[in-house]
A and B are shown apart, each in its own frame.
Chain A
């Protein structure tokens, strides 16, 4: 038993059972942002979504955006590269804190 049941993703719309006005705004914004061609193609958006899903460690989003990438024609190399981008940026956010460490060292007279 896990808190994350794949079937639960289909119940996402239930968030609109209360304050439907807010849910409607969210889903409209979500659809327009992720599923329509704009300055970015739907495939590029799907790959960004896949990277963010990994960065946020969201199993629902990983499921959804893996399918979205496949249905947008992404290939396994493109999808894997997107996950590497998320991974590298995630690592960078830790590593760049090393500058703070260096600052602290300097403040300590090192």
Chain B
């Protein structure tokens, strides 16, 4: 084992299975075995720094966070991508990934290796003039367009009230201005090939409506009210972890929300869970089954904790996925993943 790998060993915290929300036993009741099947997507969380601090953020990102993906980790991830064409998608997230100084270099090198590079973009960062990564609306738009990255933009609702409740006062108006700029650059426009997908998540302690009905509402309302167009809407369930869990607990609503998720358990959604076909990497190169396990520090384990430095595609498929109570968030109702509903 290399020193780097030894350094990255962590005491993986036990998943929260208490208070009657034992996900593994529910899988057992349904006689479901949820094992890895492939790695279609490599998701990199390159920074926890963000110009916003949203109430639902499972990464607890904020302007005060300083974690940034280290150079050796970036190099190794690029090596993994160029060395194995079975991984088809690079999904770059954060924080606001654009704030990482090596963001542009990462994208420019990755587009040469993978079929698709997705960037989880919070829309407001392009209007943030206080960052030290040179992010501004003109340069970012030109960069996205030139590299034809798929933009996954957070917009919790077409209604200002819901969006600002979750993301902060004034965020909605800035987000609409950003969407209009993206549209002007060709994003979301039919025939342009520049994909703009929006991400919806509920403004409170409730489950999302059907993705199809929400997409149709967003399409109608954003076009009529703001002249904004987009490709698809991804409806995500709020994960009962970290900042959102704190909000639930402060309102004494955690048990009720968890019961709601558990009662809505959908075996089909469990079979389509994203953890079966992706890997998630943190700033230090530690590997997880998903971004939520990353947020909880639940590292993937083979004989040792998995990192990008000891990673092998075929070996990684032999791991047991780490489950916890939060997994009910991905299996409730129509299912939820970084790509939206799963059924």
Residues of A at under 8 Å CB distance from B?
Answer: 41, 43, 67, 70-73, 75-77
Contact = CB atoms under 8 A, between A and B. Distances in A.
A41 B212 CA distance: 13
Q: Assign chain B's interface to a size class.
A: 10 to 19
Given A43-B209, A75-B162, A70 B202 contact: yes
A70 B156 CA distance: 13
Interface in B180-218: 202-204, 206-210, 213-214, 217
A99 to B, nearest CB: 40
Interface string B149-169: 000000001110110000000
**Most chain A CB atoms below 10 A, which of B159, B204, B209, B213:** B209
Contacts of A71: 206-209
20 contacts: A41-B213, A70-B202, A70-B203, A70-B206, A71-B206, A71-B207, A71-B208, A71-B209, A72-B209, A72-B213, A73-B210, A73-B213, A73-B214, A73-B217, A75-B157, A75-B158, A75-B159, A76-B159, A76-B161, A76-B162
Contacts of B209: 43, 71-73
Contacts of B213: 41, 43, 72-73
A7 B108 CA distance: 55
A106 B254 CA distance: 62
Contacts of A41: 213
A71 B210 CA distance: 8
Contacts of B203: 70
Nearest to A77: B159
A70 B210 CA distance: 11
A70 B213 CA distance: 13
Given A43-B209, A75-B162, A70 B157 contact: no
Contacts of B204: 70
B206 A67 contact: yes
A67 B214 CA distance: 16
Contacts of A77: 159
Contacts of B210: 73
Interface in B207-238: 207-210, 213-214, 217
Most buried by B among A41, A71, A77: A71
A67 B209 CA distance: 11
A43 B212 CA distance: 13
A43 B214 CA distance: 11
3 closest cross-chain pairs (CB), A and B: A73-B209, A75-B159, A70-B206
Nearest to B207: A71
Nearest to B217: A73
Contacts of A72: 209, 213
Contacts of A73: 208-210, 213-214, 217
Nearest to B264: A71
Contacts of B157: 75
A57 to B, nearest CB: 23
B117 to A, nearest CB: 31
B226 to A, nearest CB: 15
A96 to B, nearest CB: 34
A43 B161 CA distance: 19
B159 to A, nearest CB: 5
A75 B222 CA distance: 14
Interface in B299-330: none
Contacts of A75: 157-159, 162, 217
Residue picked from A72, A73, A76, most chain B C-beta under 10 Å = A73
Interface string B237-254: 000000000000000000
Contacts of B159: 75-77
Nearest to A7: B256
Contacts of A70: 202-204, 206
Interface string B115-159: 000000000000000000000000000000000000000000111
Contacts of A76: 159, 161-162
Nearest to A75: B159
Given A73-B210, A75-B157, 10 more contacts: A41-B213, A70-B202, A70-B204, A71-B206, A71-B207, A71-B208, A73-B209, A73-B214, A75-B217, A77-B159
